[in-house]
């Protein structure tokens, strides 16, 4: 587990209000604030009261071309992937637990609840405890924990590819890497929920 920061610190990047954005920043802002994340039910707020982006998305505006690539990967994982919502959120919450990422935890516990994760399951995931999961959930949980450690053993590969297919395992590796990247950025930029 990543060591928790001892005391809260101010965010290292100030919020970027929409009226202050450059052309490339504004394009990225619009893609996030009016894209698939903003459609349908909102389980967590994308913007602050002043319209600036919350969570990792504000820092994406520091380098709009890289931020746009990251936001495209995230949107593909959340809205065009093949993993079930439950499997996806289970994996994301294990990444959040490993990295002690408060924002990821807050945002994705809300989404996880909406896709059927129960309060006891959310509590277990918060602790990185996967012992109560069964079936495909258990396969996803074990594979995620192994990916967070850096690899899948042959046995874990066999189980994951049998349950998810090679394509599903590929998607899971991208998902774990993407949310680990966000967790690192949230930590470095001191972003809090």
At 117, give phi and psi (nearest 5°): -75, 130
Pair 53, 47: CB distance under 8 Å? yes
Same domain, 132 and 184: yes
| Six token digits for residue 164 | 């998810």
Residues listed for the chain: 193
Same domain, 93 and 165: yes
Same domain, 31 and 91: no
| Mean pLDDT for the stretch of residues 22-45 | 84
Rounded Cα distance, 62 and 20, in Å? 13
Same domain, 43 and 75: yes
Same domain, 66 and 132: no
Q: Is 150 domain-assigned?
A: yes
Q: Is 6 domain-assigned?
A: no
Q: Is 102 domain-assigned?
A: yes
Q: Is 132 domain-assigned?
A: yes
| Out of 41-45, 47-51, 79-83, 122-126, least confident range | 41-45
Same domain, 48 and 91: no
Res 51 pLDDT > 80? yes
Q: Is 7 domain-assigned?
A: no
Same domain, 32 and 113: no
More confident call, 34 vs 82: 82
The last residue of one of the domains, among 26, 61, 79, is 79
Same domain, 97 and 172: yes
| Six token digits for residue 101 | 């990422």
pLDDT at site 43: 75
Q: Which residues pair with 47 in a beta bridge?
A: 53
| Six token digits for residue 160 | 């994951």
At 53, give phi and psi (nearest 5°): -75, 145
| Mean pLDDT for the stretch of residues 89-108 | 96
Same domain, 120 and 143: yes
pLDDT digits (tens, 9 = 90+) for 137-175: 999 999 999 999 999 999 999 999 999 999 999 999 999
Mutual angle of helices 102-114 and 119-126, in 10-degree steps: 160
Same domain, 67 and 120: no
Q: Is 8 domain-assigned?
A: no
Q: Is 145 domain-assigned?
A: yes
CA angle 58, 79, 33 (to 5 degrees): 30
Same domain, 143 and 161: yes
List the domain range (segments joined by +) for residue 94: 85-188
Name the residue among 172, 191, 193, 179 with its Cα closest to residue 107: 193
Domain count, the chain: 2
Q: Which residues pair with 61 in a beta bridge?
A: none
The last residue of one of the domains, among 60, 79, 98, is 79
């Amino acid at each position: 587990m990543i060591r928790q920061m001892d005391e809260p610190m101010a965010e290292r990047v100030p919020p970027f209000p929409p009226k202050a954005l450059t052309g490339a920043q504004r394009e990225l802002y619009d893609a996030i604030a009016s894209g698939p994340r903003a459609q349908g039910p909102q389980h967590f707020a994308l913007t602050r009261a002043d319209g600036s982006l919350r969570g990792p998305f504000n820092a994406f505006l520091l380098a709009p071309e890289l931020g746009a690539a990251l936001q495209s990967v995230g949107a593909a994982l959340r809205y065009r992937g093949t993993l079930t919502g439950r499997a996806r959120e289970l994996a994301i919450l294990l990444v959040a637990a490993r990295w002690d990422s408060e924002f990821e935890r807050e945002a994705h516990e809300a989404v996880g609840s909406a896709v059927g994760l129960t309060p006891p399951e959310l509590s277990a995931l918060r602790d990185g405890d996967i012992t109560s999961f069964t079936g495909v959930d258990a396969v996803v949980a074990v594979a995620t924990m192994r990916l967070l450690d850096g690899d899948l053993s042959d046995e874990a590969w066999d189980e994951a590819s049998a349950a998810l297919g090679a394509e599903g395992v590929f998607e899971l590796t991208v998902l774990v890497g993407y949310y680990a990247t966000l967790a690192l950025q949230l930590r470095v930029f001191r972003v809090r929920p």
